[in-house]
Amino acid sequence: MGATRLKIHDQNHIDISRIAKVFAHPARVAILKELSVQEGCCNDLVEVIGLSQATISQHLTVIGDAGLLYGSHKGKQRNYCLNIERLEEFRQSLNSFFSKTKSNCC
């Protein structure tokens, strides 16, 4: 995509596409679900989700790039928590998008 094409997308479009990418794969949805039910941060996603460490890491990268994760490190161990504020921002963006789309289509 040429550099000039990037100018046609506003930040809201970019945010919606990022959240859509996160929810576009069932493993990422499972990771989000698991992180949402943890009382603290989760560090055993491989055991819980049942995918390899490399695959979980790839999915965590996508989720993290969207700003939905907090992480902490203890040696080689990493703990992940959901960024609830960012998740709420995404929810509001999606609600606004669908509300405007619905009102414009009728």
- Condensed to tens digits (0 to 9), the pLDDT of residues 14-59 reads 888 888 999 999 999 999 999 988 766 666 888 889 999 899 989 9
Query: What domain range includes position 74?
Result: 14-101
Q: Identify the residue whose tokens are 């698991």.
A: 34
The predicted-structure confidence for 69-106, as pLDDT tens digits, reads as follows 987 777 777 788 899 999 999 899 888 888 887 666 65
For residue 23, being part of any structural domain is answered with yes
Q: What's the pLDDT at 77?
A: 74
Domain CATH number, residue 66: 1.10.10.10
For residue 38, being part of any structural domain is answered with yes
For residue 59, being part of any structural domain is answered with yes
Contacts (Cβ under 8 Å, ≥6 apart) of 80: 35, 41, 42, 43, 45, 60, 69, 70, 71
Q: What's the pLDDT at 40?
A: 63
pLDDT band at 1 (very low <50, low <70, confident <90, very high): very low
For residue 44, being part of any structural domain is answered with yes
Q: What's the pLDDT at 96?
A: 87
Q: What's the pLDDT at 46?
A: 86
Q: Helices 26-37 and 53-65, interaxial angle, to 10°? A: 80
For residue 4, being part of any structural domain is answered with no
For residue 89, being part of any structural domain is answered with yes
Q: What's the pLDDT at 63?
A: 95
For residue 48, being part of any structural domain is answered with yes
Number of domains in the chain: 1
For residue 85, being part of any structural domain is answered with yes
Strands in 1-106 per DSSP E: 69-74, 77-82
